[in-house]
Structure 1
């Protein structure tokens, strides 16, 4: 006699067979309709983790059974399931005895445990496919995937929302594929997923992401619960018109009920924008003049003025030299100098970024003469060039598709090795030229890889691969090029990318403010792919102009720009600031260069820059770290020659100030303006008054000049080693 449980299972299978599939709503899918391997079997393998990187989707598979990662190569998967091991994984005569089903239901020992039971719709589909001969039929192809919702704001913790996923195919059919869509939370403790009801429950305040994956389509589902409990006043701008930046930043803050910090005062703003646009501190005279200016548009005018300086071009060339990895070790000092000079001139002229990218990708000639040629001399072989090109121009980590298809994106090994094949036909000595020969081997086929535009199409032998790729990647319609550029500009000015990290743009790493990213990309394209309009737009925004001082209700925010995010400074900037404020130059190389920002040879011997942690351009440096640096840097600051010699120098500024300012508070005020670009505040003034009383004799007299000099040298040293001095805030 059949048990009640077995009767229930048989009835469930019968229901599924009559419905034609898991959640099937497609037309004409009766019980005799053939199972489509790619759109019905592969999703089951993905949904239950069989082809994940931790299971049989690993590069070497598991226990002799290898599937393509997330079903990216269904042809190979069908062969692995049906033909390998002499077909032992499926039993075409007795499907229920197939290893594929017995392992998944753990009626036979399985290292991965039970994936589903024999009463499940997934089991019914697989059993039916095996009974039909385990063939790789292709009845249809996926054309669109609709996930609902994609962005939802819930009211309180433990609220939930149901997910629905509907696939559309090229035969005109639609199918509810929710049950075979993989749903993965970025933090399982913050968002739990009930697969019986396909409901997502949020347990923590803030925004969280769940990734939905069906076949090669991935969609981020953003779930949020306001961080604050107080409804914010929607009119936070005092009637002033908001920029495109503040429209989306302020909207998100109101949505999440995060109060914004107030506007930075003039001293804080001036220091910030001078460092961001020139890499130098403002001189006290310029700082005082800016603060004394009472005009409403003085910040806008300052930004415009700094953007036109030669210092702007030099500093932003340094930023992008670090990003591009301009390395004199591989390019030789002459090539590095030409490349750096070309990049500096591009920023000086505000050259369109699409034109610069096109030049770098298609250049040929002498790298010592034409700086743009050196992009193609960079990178470690064709593979390295493919990785560099996609990282810089697309913000994409294509290297993740080298050994296997990208585990979190749609890039395949065909894309990776196909792009490398485009660069394989280059002769890359001092002179770059195109050869008729050169290839890379595809690791899967063992044959020469076909030249390919990533994610798009294979190229013919007659195509100019570099030109085809360059035109594709720089086109206004390219979904990556403009977004990657503005995302980097935003990160360089705001301390964090809208997509972070900035070189990892993908659907499974969504932007914190997707509408703002799209709006900035549109502005970039409309403005002719020029950097300055975007930099100007960001620097003039309220978001950029906020103080870095937090409020109790926003101090944990590091994503939504309720306050300015402090950032580390490049080693070259710190070195220049130390030299400027102490009045003792740091000299570099035989040419007696005194501005480290303008150095073109990143391998030039400099203990100072090594101590301060200059970028090792063998690995790109997107933005400087906020941390205080290495132990060597800390120890050198504690008792090293870098600072001590400059504080004791007879020609240094401290020596001169000690003579010029007999009043102790005037001298201390001078130290603060030189280093922190602001005067003493009230609490600091009280603190130093106490310290003066302790250090001096009765009547406030110093014992001798040496005692006073040592006191102020210690105070100066403390300011130069403070986090406030070493960061942009």
Structure 2
């Protein structure tokens, strides 16, 4: 990134004035106002055709425009033919309602959109005076949109940046279209942008400004930072590509990373992130006593090789693929979870795993990947799930209209849906259960494809053949051809698939995606570090699309191993990755950790004894603790369904809930067994701390706890209080 010193507010205003004048003079010099290239984008930049205004499905005040100008012919008819043509007056253009209302000369519920003396108002008057005609045939077509600056770091006081947008047209001309663009901010609380493209920051941070002109898109990434002329880099040396990219960005932002986390913090973090459980006290003692310089890489390699790795990462995939009892049935959730777990344990390439899911057919019990089509029971649901899970793209908006913030259209949406349009299902041995809802089944289903695969576009009624978004037409397809061709396109060198998988892995290890939300890749939501996304995708591809090697690469980086507290004076912005993410343990991991520390495992309905919560195949609806701490019901194909916020219900569960209370009161828990062996108080205390926090108590902690235990009516009662205090500490509840 290059540095850009901000102009003063006065200079920025002058620049905006110059831009406005250049556009006005261009038209005045002889270029006629174009309905397609001037008026349609003008209605977008003024907000007239947005969903909250006349672009609403029902319009506003009896006036309806196509959403964001997607249908100019419809808009022309609405402007010039509806309401007896009273919206435009060719004989007296200044009296046209389309001029009077947005300029506030007559009452307008939407308020004043631009001044009567503005270039926008003049363009409307000139177009009407010229006959208010369409120029679909003669208007040059848009080829590309360019935004300047594409990236900038701004450090001057009163931070502002003036954007300049140009359009390349197919007649060879290049036009300044800044005032005709619509602007959207990734974080409206950080900055505001004027209709003329002047961006003004209200606080420090990074913001992406998405720019839209007709069908063209552009993005400007701006960082507003305090001036730090004395800044000196003090970060650790980079170890590999992850550190090179993260630290290069931090240097450009003038932010120093935190130091590396101490051994006990790294140990606990590594166990929780890879296998979803805590180390046993003996494992902790061994690691802390090891003085070898390579002990951290050796630990990471050993963790990804453990069977618990597959259990924990299968849980993440089961959330996304909605493995839940109501749709899958009791046996269905078990067989699908087992298939996921075994595939990850074998480090099956992620593209192979995805291909088997998308193209899966046959018995959902004998071929569990086919369960994807059991959960996604109509073509639209399947299309949205495939796009979101495997491409990181949210296509839902394009179901009803072209995507407002990306290039995807309704044709893209229904072209992908066409791939699943001929998928059929047959229930097998589906005896109903009185304990289940009438829509629930307990048996198997056979998934198969029959007949031609196609969809009708709901707006145009055009027959659409199978075609993934941004991909080639898969051609007329009968039977299972569409599924097989889609699976091949998705998994054979698909760059967006690699980007998405790399971003998801980064998200699970670092606490935040490089693209955030993690499943929302789009032009108007660029990665915080585009080069790092590409580098991780390269690494994943070079390693055969296998999960474990990329996990090892990220965890061995200094960036992953940083302390969880920002340095004094440094920003606490999670998108910088200048320090480790601190977050609440997932519901299943927290419950397992409580069981592990106390030594009292939980029992789950219809599950083998000693099954951990992370191994549960379904949603565990009968467990109130899991529900309170955000275990998703798996109704959505989205990471966002897993709640991470803290609630009063969680506090009640930890303060006096049955899950923890029964474990602490059990006479044969860890404390009870230690006391039965006549362990000294200091030994009991060390064991408790190593089990829960992966460290020994400080001198102050030891004095306070031993004094409390010594004053208790019975040692077990005192130790029960001590264990309760440790398990309710932030240090235990958080991954840090």
Q: Which residue number in structure 1 is paired with residue 233 of structure 2?
A: 234
Work out the CA distance in 1 between the residues paired with 2:65 and 2:594: 57
Q: Which residue number in structure 2 is paired with residue 544 of structure 1?
A: 560
Post-superposition CA distance 1:431-490 (Å, at most 9, x none)? 111122687664434676665433556665447443444344335354x32222111111
Aligned positions, number:
694
Q: CA deviation at 1:715?
A: 0.7
> With structure 2 as the length reference, what TM-score do the two structures score?
0.87
* 1:179/1:484 CA distance change after superposition, 3 Å: same
Q: Which residue number in structure 2 is paired with residue 5 of structure 1?
A: none
Post-superposition CA distance 1:252-304 (Å, at most 9, x none)? 22222323221111111111111111111111111111122222111111111
Q: Secondary structure at the match of 1:616?
A: coil
Q: Which residue number in structure 1 is paired with residue 604 of structure 2?
A: 588
Tell me if the contact between 1:157 and 1:205 (Cα under 8 Å) persists in the aligned partners. no
Of 443-452 and 100-109, deviating more is: 443-452
Q: Which residue number in structure 1 is paired with residue 319 of structure 2?
A: 322
Work out the CA distance in 2 between the residues paired with 1:14 and 1:583: 75
Question: 1:151-190 to 2 correspondence within 5 Å?
Answer: 151-186=151-186, 190=190
Work out the CA distance in 2 between the residues paired with 1:44 and 1:191: 23
> With structure 1 as the length reference, what TM-score do the two structures score?
0.88
Q: Secondary structure at the match of 1:579?
A: helix
Q: Which residue number in structure 2 is paired with residue 660 of structure 1?
A: 677
Work out the CA distance in 1 between the residues paired with 2:312 and 2:287: 22
Q: Which residue number in structure 1 is paired with residue 134 of structure 2?
A: 135
Match among 510, 519, 522 for residue 535 of structure 2: 519
Tell me if the contact between 1:568 and 1:728 (Cα under 8 Å) persists in the aligned partners. yes
Question: 1:602-617 to 2 correspondence within 5 Å?
Answer: 602-603=619-620, 605-617=622-634
Work out the CA distance in 1 between the residues paired with 2:320 and 2:547: 15
Match among 55, 58, 66 for residue 68 of structure 1: 66
Of 613-622 and 225-234, deviating more is: 225-234
* 1:295/1:345 CA distance change after superposition, 3 Å: same
Question: 1:239-254 to 2 correspondence within 5 Å?
Answer: 240-254=237-251
Tell me if the contact between 1:498 and 1:513 (Cα under 8 Å) persists in the aligned partners. yes
Match among 562, 567, 573 for residue 583 of structure 2: 567
Question: 1:315-714 to 2 correspondence within 5 Å?
Answer: 315-429=312-426, 430-436=445-451, 442-445=457-460, 451-455=466-470, 460-462=475-477, 464-478=481-495, 480-554=496-570, 556-594=572-610, 595-603=612-620, 605-620=622-637, 622=639, 625-629=643-647, 631=649, 633-660=650-677, 662-681=679-698, 685-693=699-707, 696=710, 707-714=714-721
Post-superposition CA distance 1:379-423 (Å, at most 9, x none)? 252222122111101212211222333232232333333333332
Of 659-668 and 160-169, deviating more is: 659-668
Q: CA deviation at 1:544?
A: 0.8
Q: Which residue number in structure 2 is paired with residue 721 of structure 1?
A: 728
Work out the CA distance in 1 between the residues paired with 2:580 and 2:383: 35
Q: Secondary structure at the match of 2:211?
A: strand
Post-superposition CA distance 1:528-567 (Å, at most 9, x none)? 2222222111101111101113332236332212211112
Question: 1:45-64 to 2 correspondence within 5 Å?
Answer: 45-64=43-62
Of 220-229 and 664-673, deviating more is: 220-229
Q: Over the residues paired in the alignment, what is the CA RMSD in angstroms? A: 2.9
Q: CA deviation at 1:47?
A: 1.4
* 1:538/1:694 CA distance change after superposition, 3 Å: closer
Q: Which runs of 5+ in 1 are unaligned?
A: 1-11, 22-29, 697-701
Tell me if the contact between 1:331 and 1:374 (Cα under 8 Å) persists in the aligned partners. yes
Match among 21, 35, 51 for residue 37 of structure 1: 35
Q: Secondary structure at the match of 2:210?
A: strand
Match among 239, 248, 272 for residue 269 of structure 2: 272
Q: CA deviation at 1:173?
A: 2.3
Of 610-619 and 270-279, deviating more is: 610-619
Q: Secondary structure at the match of 2:261?
A: coil
Q: Which residue number in structure 2 is paired with residue 304 of structure 1?
A: 301
* 1:15/1:291 CA distance change after superposition, 3 Å: closer
Q: CA deviation at 1:503?
A: 1.7
> Are residues 1:218 and 2:211 paired?
no
* 1:444/1:593 CA distance change after superposition, 3 Å: farther
Tell me if the contact between 2:362 and 2:448 (Cα under 8 Å) persists in the aligned partners. yes
* 1:245/1:16 CA distance change after superposition, 3 Å: closer
Q: Secondary structure at the match of 1:49?
A: coil
> Are residues 1:202 and 2:205 paired?
no
Q: Secondary structure at the match of 1:546?
A: coil
Tell me if the contact between 1:386 and 1:419 (Cα under 8 Å) persists in the aligned partners. yes
Post-superposition CA distance 1:200-225 (Å, at most 9, x none)? 33342222332222112332322223
Of 160-169 and 469-478, deviating more is: 469-478
Work out the CA distance in 2 between the residues paired with 1:191 and 1:327: 42
Q: Secondary structure at the match of 2:505?
A: helix
* 1:585/1:690 CA distance change after superposition, 3 Å: closer
Q: CA deviation at 1:80?
A: 2.3
Tell me if the contact between 1:258 and 1:553 (Cα under 8 Å) persists in the aligned partners. no
